[in-house]
Amino acid sequence: MAKKVRVRFAPSPTGGLHLGGVRTVLYNYLFARQQGGDFVLRIEDTDQSRYVPGAEEYIYECLKWCGLQPDESPQAGGPYAPYRQSERKDLYRQYAEFLVQEGKAYYAFDRPDELDSMRERFKTAENPSPQYDHKVRMQMRNSCSLTFEETERLLADNVPHVIRIRMPENETVTFTDMIRGEVSFHTELVDDKVLLKADGMPTYHLAVVVDDYLMKITHAFRGEEWLPSSPVHVLLWKYLGWEKDMPQWAHLPLILKPDGNGKLSKRDGDRLGFPVFAMNWTVPGTNELTKGFREIGFLPEAFINMLAMLGWNDGTDQELFTLDELVQKFSMDRVHKGGAKFDFEKAKWFNHEWIKKSEVGRLKPEVRKTLEQQGISVNDDVKLETVIALVKERCTFIADFVEQARFFFQTPQQWDLDAIKPKWNEAKQAFFGDVINYLQQQTNWVAADLEHGFKELAAAKQIKPGEVLLPLRIMLVGGKFGPGVFDIAGIIGKEETVKRVSNLLGQL
């Protein structure tokens, strides 16, 4: 029987959740759901100096908003708890010690300043960043260069030390990446990575292997930036004796900045005027706020859809997918190898499409909330629904409903008079006087009838409808936008329509 699929998203809680992070979550989630597997959230907080309060809660909130909730997590618990690496601290040391006994790792007592001076000493034009590897190993203070007795004494004296992997000098590590196929590395070019830090915490390298093993992870997806350290991980799986349980790796392509090249960063978003984080993120302490997709009015459906298409497609021309469709159709072998530049214009298009295709009921709570935040009170539920249905196709963001729907609920306070004043005359003034009379006589307030009557009246006065339609719009709406004027009149009602017309007529 095949092993049950288990995947994990393993962020370190140091700040806002980046687009690329959400995409990694998404691919994990899609794969797990499709395979009937489990999706685990594991918090990789092994660097205590980078602890940021609130960052972990923020991640849960993001996943919740996106609808990508984990089956197991620090919050939800699960059979492999705890899911926070800081709470698993005591677990890791034994594995590192085991590797030392096996001769696959060693103690290193070098102080930070000694490491610096080593790097300084070996630095040349051809080798600008010397590594701690087999070439310098014997010149450093570690259990390879020191005698057994010396090492024992240092350990007994509690001299701060780390445990480093001892990279072999002449091997080739090869594995099959689900996206890239076979990749290989020469071990003599990889450094002796620290496995266990002086504070007793594991580094990512040790923790990811131990926890993936203990948590029975079958497929490990992560960003491409991890590819260069993958030989360390593969070797660790082997040295720990777990080779047959090693997950299948998939290194996802990066999301790049729209201009120039390089990984998309928060800075690029600030610079170019779009969000990079899923939700608003406030840096504790400085209170510096970074805008999120949620807050600028993205629908999670659109956000997810857009992210899914950044590096994957189903081979057809289809671009709009629901989460369920993605679960069905997603496949790792259709994931791109190359990085994708993020295009905010295209992201906006996805959101616009989703607003258009969403049911009124889906939009209603969010639209109501946004309108009310702007001081527009919405008491008539049916009217709100009618309005949403009428204007949603002209909204790219939820916030656009403010402009597009405001005049249905509030009398305009400002009018684009420049649009009508230059061509205004006595005849039009008189005509609108007649319009008011006409409107007041109506007992059956229906848009189509109003339009018909209005045009007949204009014809009777020898006025072309085009001459007076725009003025009417300005009177009702305030500006040159919105749905058909008579639809608007139909919705706001007789009293309000008459009021708006006569109100502005007095100002012309």
Partner RNA sequence: GCCGCGUUCGUCUAAGGGCUAGGACACCACCCUUUCACGGUGGUGAUACGGGUUCGAAUCCCGUACGCGGUACCA
Q: Interface residues for RNA in 293-332 (CB under 7 A)?
A: 309-311, 313, 315, 317, 319
Asked if 241 interacts with RNA (CB under 7 A), we say no
Asked if 418 interacts with RNA (CB under 7 A), we say no
Q: Which stretch binds RNA (CB under 7 A): 221-229, 363-371, 440-448, 494-502?
A: 221-229
Residue 266 marked in a binding site? yes
Q: Inter-axis angle of helices 494-505 and 426-441, to 10 degrees? A: 160
Residue with Cβ nearer RNA (90 or 345) = 345
CA atoms 70, 75, 76, 79: torsion sign? positive
Residue with Cβ nearer RNA (119 or 364) = 119
Q: Smallest Cα–Cα separation from 438: which of 506, 486, 371?
A: 486
Burial category of 101 from C-beta neighbours within 10 Å (exposed 0-12, middle 13-18, buried 19 and up): exposed
How many angstroms separate the CA atoms of 161 and 197, rounded? 7
Could you tell me which residues come within 8 angstroms of residue 162 by beta carbon, excluding any fewer than 6 positions away? 107, 108, 194, 195, 196, 197, 198
Residue with Cβ nearer RNA (241 or 250) = 250
Q: Which stretch binds RNA (CB under 7 A): 112-120, 209-217, 269-277, 362-370?
A: 112-120
Asked if 480 interacts with RNA (CB under 7 A), we say yes
Residue with Cβ nearer RNA (38 or 44) = 44
- The pair phi, psi for residue 43, each rounded to 5°, is -90, 120
* Size of the residue set binding RNA (CB under 7 A): 86
Shortest Cβ 30–RNA spacing (Å) = 16
Identify the residue among 112, 273, 361, 422 touching RNA (CB under 7 A): 112
One symbol per residue from 352 to 391: x for binding RNA (CB under 7 A), - otherwise; what is it? Answer: ----x-----------------------------------
How much is the CA Rg of the chain, to the nearest whole Å?
32
Q: Smallest Cα–Cα separation from 491: which of 386, 365, 367?
A: 386
Length of the chain: 508
- 266 has catalytic annotation: yes
Q: Interface residues for RNA in 70-109 (CB under 7 A)?
A: none
Asked if 227 interacts with RNA (CB under 7 A), we say yes
Asked if 11 interacts with RNA (CB under 7 A), we say yes
Shortest Cβ 293–RNA spacing (Å) = 16
Q: Interface residues for RNA in 36-75 (CB under 7 A)?
A: 44, 46-47, 50
Query: Which residue in this structure is represented by tokens 């003034």?
Result: 429
Identify the residue among 184, 287, 379, 443 touching RNA (CB under 7 A): 184
Asked if 449 interacts with RNA (CB under 7 A), we say no
Residue with Cβ nearer RNA (180 or 238) = 180
How many angstroms separate the CA atoms of 264 and 19, rounded? 9
Distances (CA, A) of 329 to 66, 142, 180, 314, 326: 19, 52, 20, 7, 5
Asked if 178 interacts with RNA (CB under 7 A), we say no
Asked if 263 interacts with RNA (CB under 7 A), we say yes
Of these residues, 89, 266, 357, 455, which one is catalytic?
Answer: 266
Q: Interface residues for RNA in 131-170 (CB under 7 A)?
A: 131-132, 160, 162
Cα angle 149-152-153, degrees, rounded to a multiple of 5: 85
Distances (CA, A) of 150 to 68, 143, 159, 237: 53, 8, 11, 30
Q: Which stretch binds RNA (CB under 7 A): 86-94, 97-105, 150-158, 465-473?
A: 465-473
* DSSP per-residue string spanning 140-185: SSBTTTS-HHHHHHHHHTT---EEEE---SS-EEEEEETTTEEEEE
Asked if 127 interacts with RNA (CB under 7 A), we say yes
Shortest Cβ 170–RNA spacing (Å) = 14
List, by residue number, the catalytic residues: 266
Binding residues for ATP: 266
